[in-house]
Structure 1
Amino acid sequence: MSFPWAREYEPTNGFMKFMDEKLPLPRLVYSAVGAGYPVPRNLSYMWNFGVLAGFFLVVQIITGVVLAMHYAANAEVAFATTEHIMRDVNYGWLMRYAHANGASFFFVVIYMHIFRGLFYSSYKAPREMIWLLGVVIFLLMMATAFMGYVLPWGQMSFWGAKVITGLFGAIPLVGEPIQIWLLGGFAPDNAALNRFFSLHFLLPFVIAGVVILHIWALHIPGSSNPTGVEVKKESDTLPFHPYYTAKDGFGLGVVLIFFMAMVFFLPNALGHPDNYIEANPLSTPANIVPEWYFWPFYAILRAFTFDFILPAKLWGVLAMFASILVWFFLPWLDKSPVRSGHYRPLFRKFFWFGLIPTIIVLGYCGGAHMTVWTTALSQIFTAYYFLHFLVILPIISSIEKPEPMPYSITEAVLGSDEEAVLGDKTSPAV
């Protein structure tokens, strides 16, 4: 979106004028995150999570590069080099704990970012491409995190790699060759460890590239906001700097308090105890589970327990991938002209009392032992998960009567906007 009231970059000294003429990087930064980029004036702290996700991506890349200097992708010594990093490398323990817990915090802020997007319908036009690129980033994150989970070469690393890559074996005809190609053999070993290490090192930079596209796509229509009303005039916006850099800085400071508390006082709280035991192909853990941020999808995978036309294992694989791929179609499944969930009473009820409890229960079932009750819960809530997106959401968007909305962002913030009321009273503010 072009904002005619956006301030243009004007270098004030000779060096900056030279840079602006030869390499206009300061102008780019000014236009992207400075006073030259106006954003809606009513953004809440729910809009902090994009910046937080970018911060933790940088943390993961920096700590990952340092750890890669001391890690050996060899099944004979991988576990030992991980212990060497912890015990002998200067501040190696800090790098590893920051990297391991940074992955968890990365997923926390990404999940919050996604839930905010779902509640405020950030996937609606004209921001479809922003949403689609965000889903691509999430898929790349899942692949990167899974491969990173394998690298310590503990019990969960080995058996997690065996189980997850074994899922591809459920695909008819081509499944087994794909599985062997992924592992470089018939079971996780040196070849698999080398493949996963290489891809785990490479993919964060691919994610960074897609993040740049994501931000680029965001700057075309501009940021969404809690009301869902589009920016109409200068009074609806504020410069990103200093107003939102300060707000993002405060949010980052709060999150860093919790992050440092985890790194220094509870560094192993989110890890599985079995992964601190060296991988043993002859000893199967009692309960093979992935990292906590995969649990809802793992519960969907395990929800299919009987064959129906296709093998149950294949149904589980298809459902697990479909549970994320369905997000690609949200811009076309949700037909409501209103974006913000604050003005959609029926949508709001199904979101808070339907979708959110479903994700929580699936997360619990994915991390728990597989029993009759957890399997039944997984099946019930898996069915509801797909019903919510494929059936309930389209129906709600067709029959729901939205609540009255403000005429402009200024009215939503200040409580009145005479110019908007008198000048544009008949047009829908959506």
Structure 2
Amino acid sequence: MNDIDHRVLGNKLDLFHQQEEGAGMVFWHPRGWMLYCVLEDYVRARMRRAGFREIRTPQLLARSLWEKSGHWEKFGAAMYSLADAEEGRALCLKPMSCPCHVQVFNQRVRSYRELPVRYSEFGACHRDEPSGSLEGLKRTRAFVQDDAHVFCAVSDIESEVGRFCALLRDVYADLGFPAFTVALATRPASRAGSEQTWDRAEQALANAAQAAGLEFDVLAGEGAFYGPKLEFHLMDSRARSWQCGTIQLDFVLPERLEARYVNERNEHERPVMIHHAVLGSMERFIAMLLEHDDGWMPAWLAPEQVVVTSISDASVGYAQQVSQALEDAGVRAVLDGRAERLEKKIVDAREKRVPFLVVVGKKEASERMISVRQARDGTQLEFGLAQGLAYLSGKGVLPRGAATA
């Protein structure tokens, strides 16, 4: 493993670890979990602004649901299952959230006036991946998907795909990926649904992608078993392509799981189901970000944004005041009051990839000032305390569009 492998960075930056007793699972440390939560909260806010309502669905469900949806036949070998001795039935840990979202939609009679119905979930999933395929955060047995599903009429497909493409563009740009490539993955050899259904779905998704201004290649045979999909590929700083976001068009699961709404003619009609993901697996996306940025997260995403360090014991009290004032202003700050040389503290902050270092000594304490150092390039600025707090809180806010509606 090289120095910019996310597993090396995860250890060096004290973000997470993995061990044999939980093969394919992740032990998140405080710094890593903060990074995870900030990223999740950012995506959550963007999804809310895009009209999605967040839900939460069970981890363990009867195998009969997965059989009905077709997932057991397709993915059964990779699903964790167990027997419920008391009820005498088989249960499975969910490998994905799609059938669960249909259950929420199905809980009452829906009118065409309600459509589109948009759900999102940070769905915890489990898949029994082969041990030889496990690779840090990139491929795990337990992971979280930023799942989203839209239930809509056929006439809504184009506008819903366009809505989500706009969301993807903004999110990727905020995360440092202003450009992406797109592929249309078509019917696989093993699939559900008739040829006529696939013809209809592939044409509808291609038309919607073109209407959204997307140029795409065709990946023949790479679609999901229930429908075609658009794959969004990001290029990292090492010129590697990562498939992240997806938009999948599905006429099959609504039929299999009996989703319906009442149309304008007072007749029952099947909705179209559009599957969405912005990042895909949260764990895998964090791995990509770490390697893309060599661990230097943008300031708004960094688990710790500022280290406040004292030059001597005499300035520790003022350093504590500055650290607390930053926390009160919404900046993630930590205090380094160790009896170490300043040079050592600067090196340690840089090693942890903390974007800013605030240095305070006797002069700063007496004049109510702070010295702000950018850890990556060493640029140093001096501010009065109020101005310094405003500067750092401005650097630490979420990017545009992230605030909740």
Hey, which of these two has a bigger chunk of strand by percent?
Answer: 2
What band does the TM-score fall into relative to the shorter chain? under 0.3
**Which structure would you say has the larger RCO, counting Cα contacts within 8 Å and 6 or more residues apart?**
1
Hey, which of these two has a bigger chunk of helix by percent?
Answer: 1
| TM-score, length-scaled by structure 1 | 0.24
| TM-score, length-scaled by structure 2 | 0.25
